[in-house]
Homo-oligomer: A and B are copies of this chain.
Amino acid sequence: MYGITPDNGMEKAYDLSEVAIVPTKRARDTVDVDLSWRIDAVSLDFPLIAAPMDSIMSPATVIEMGRLGGLGVLNLEGLWTRYADPSAQFDSLAKITNEIDAVQAMQRLYAEPIKAELIDQRLAEIHDAGVPFAAALSPKTVRQFAGHVEKAGADFLVITGTSVSAQYVSETRDALDMKELIHSLDVPVIVGGCVDYFTALNLMRAGAVGILVGFGGGARQATRDVLGIEVPMASAISAAAVARSDYMDESGGRYVAVIADGGITCSGDIAKALACGADAAMVGVPLARATEAPGQGYHWGREVWHPTLVRGLRQQVETLASLEEILLGPSVVADGSMNLVGALRRTLASTGYTTIKSFQKAKLILV
């Protein structure tokens, strides 16, 4: 009965790299494909959200992202809200090639306090551009600064953090009640990251207009090595899509957007995430290769500069083309890092779909 392998009930979970889309319907014309989607009151041209990471999102690139038809998100806990002009800080980081030095330099730079007036100033600059935009805070700072996001007229507040659950219980400090918080705010909230059906459902019940599935950032290998935690995205997105459907039923029709956040490194991954059931994808690495990216050839998330438990590595990336070319093409490379939107349009056409909603039912296989 009990040998070396007792049945411990472990299920196999699948990563995006373990699944593939197979065309089983007639191909459609790319000109018939409509990639637009809607989250709360906002319509967007294509289902890509830029991750709130300093290496890709400055006020300028948030604006450019919106101008092109996507959604940019400014990280309100990054260098832009700690320094009046962070150019010197970005430049100094770009000059450090040793990674341990870079970690320690970041730990110092990000120790500078966040200034409320800089938050106001950055958001005002973006708001004036007249494009849709969002701003991100972590569970730890959200109560302190959420009001500034409301006042600035952001389209969304994104609540996300290095902590892997958006819900948070503390015996010794005040716990964050997500439902109470969301209901107290005037700005629609996107929150995450969650990785299972029940957490997804709870976040939907808490009133979010969108939930992030996954842990974001470029910290996957580190999360595995340091914490032993891993989130196979294909399975996690599928679970969240089931939750979306069940919640729509129980709420009498509220549709909460499921946004894949993590492990998206090429346009093929975006297509797979949508085919697994996502409404949109939050992307990082591909945008870090833009000439406009503040990271200047480096990409990092907040897990790199944690003061006591570094859980991610600064990633070196090759600058490739303008943000517009990376998103809308034309492409001169074959690795899925350019013309992300055109590639997605082509995948839908090739597999016989003309809308994202119908494409969520595309045939997936295990490879």
Chain A residues with CB under 8 Å of chain B are 2-6, 8, 10-15, 19-29, 31-32, 100, 103-104, 107, 163-165, 167-173, 195-199, 219, 222-232, 235-236, 238-239, 242-243, 246, 266-272, 275-276, 303-304, 307-313, 329-336, 338-339, 342-343, 346-347, 349-352, 354, 363-367
Contact B168 A29 (CB under 8 A): yes
Chain B residues, CB < 8 A from A232 = 4, 20, 365, 367
Whether B3 contacts A172 by the Cβ 8 Å rule is no
Known pairs A5-B235, A103-B333, A229-B347. 11 more at Cβ < 8 A? A2-B239, A5-B239, A11-B365, A20-B230, A26-B168, A29-B170, A225-B268, A230-B365, A230-B367, A308-B330, A310-B331
Does B23 contact A164, Cβ atoms closer than 8 Å? Answer: yes
Distance, CA A56 to CA B21, complexed state (A): 30
Asked if A351 meets B164 with Cβ closer than 8 Å, knowing A226-B336, A310-B334, the reply is: yes
CB atoms of A343 and B28 under 8 A apart: no
The oligomer's copy count stands at 4
Is the pair A267, B22 in contact by a Cβ cutoff of 8 Å? no
Contacting pair B228 A275 (CB below 8 A): yes
Quote the shortest CB–CB distance from A6 to chain B (angstroms): 5
Q: Which residues of B contact A167 (CB under 8 A)?
A: 26-27
- On chain B, the residues within 8 Å of A107 by CB distance are 332
A195 touches B4 (CB 8 A): yes
Query: Once the chains bind, are B334 and A222 in contact (CB under 8 Å)?
Result: yes
**Most chain B CB neighbours (cut-off 10 Å) among A167, A168, A199, A308:** A308
CB distance from A234 to the nearest CB of B (A): 8
What residue of chain B has the Cβ atom nearest to residue A277's Cβ?
Answer: B8
Which of the residues B4, B11, B228 comes within 8 Å of A239, measured between beta carbons? B4
